[in-house]
Amino acid sequence: MVRITRVYTGGGDDGSSSLVDGSRRSKSDQRFEVVGCCDELNAVLGIVAMEINRLPAHEDGGGSKAIERVQLVISSALKRIQNELFDLGGELACDPEKIPQYMVLIGQQQSDVLLEEMDAWLLDLEPLSSFILPTGDGPVAALHLARTVTRRLEREMVRLNDLEGENAVSNISLIYINRFSDWLFIMSRWISKMLVSEETLWQPLGKRGAESGITDILQKMRQTDSQYDDI
């Protein structure tokens, strides 16, 4: 059991920090960049969990059952995932040759569960006819942010392999994170479907017509303000 009695130590005042094995590196080291990205991703998922719990219940019963289902499914999934990302962060904070024997690593089982859940969500979804813009109600918008942070984490993990050798990050961890980005995307679509919230589809430039901007809207707003001033 971890016992933390003091958060601040002053040991990092010189711009260095310790890996799990006690060895010290500069805080600019690529391994710390990977660990930081993993921590950032977990924090964004905390925001997603908050937004899920803040979904409004309808007193007349309309939509409340769907909201309850979303809260049950997503909250349960995120609780597991946040623990797994904490496990992954501990692994990433280790020299792969010095991982403590007590540390249980992300494995094939965790990766397979992501696939099973994606397949289950997809049963409720229609195929996409266009790309989706990264926006949406509450938790959906936050999930798109989490998805982009996941992709950055993946890039940083690959970069660490490029710098320290292909065994610097375990292959199963890379597979897990690659699948996790898709998992977040499909989750966001499932939430939109359950909440009857329309997805914002990307329209190619050639199909959007002439770009008029917002100037005309602003001019009309000013005209309306001047009319009120004359009353």
Which residue carries 């994606």 as its tokens? 118
pLDDT (tens place) for every residue of the chain, 231 residues total:
555 555 566 555 667 666 667 677 657 678 889 999 999 999 999 999 999 999 987 655 456 888 999 999 999 999 999 999 999 998 998 888 888 778 788 899 999 999 999 999 999 988 888 898 899 888 999 999 999 999 999 999 999 999 998 889 999 999 999 999 999 999 999 999 999 888 888 788 777 777 778 888 888 888 876 654 554
pLDDT value of residue 142? 96
CA–centroid distance for 73 within its chain: 16
Topology annotation, domain 16-204: Hypothetical Protein Ta1238; Chain: A; (1.20.1200)
Domain ranges of the chain: 16-204
pLDDT value of residue 231? 45
Name residues whose C-beta falls within 8 Å of residue 188's C-beta, 6 or more positions apart in sequence.
Answer: 136, 139, 140, 143, 144, 147
pLDDT value of residue 9? 63
Element (H, E) at 16: strand 16-18
Question: pTM for the whole thing?
Answer: 0.84
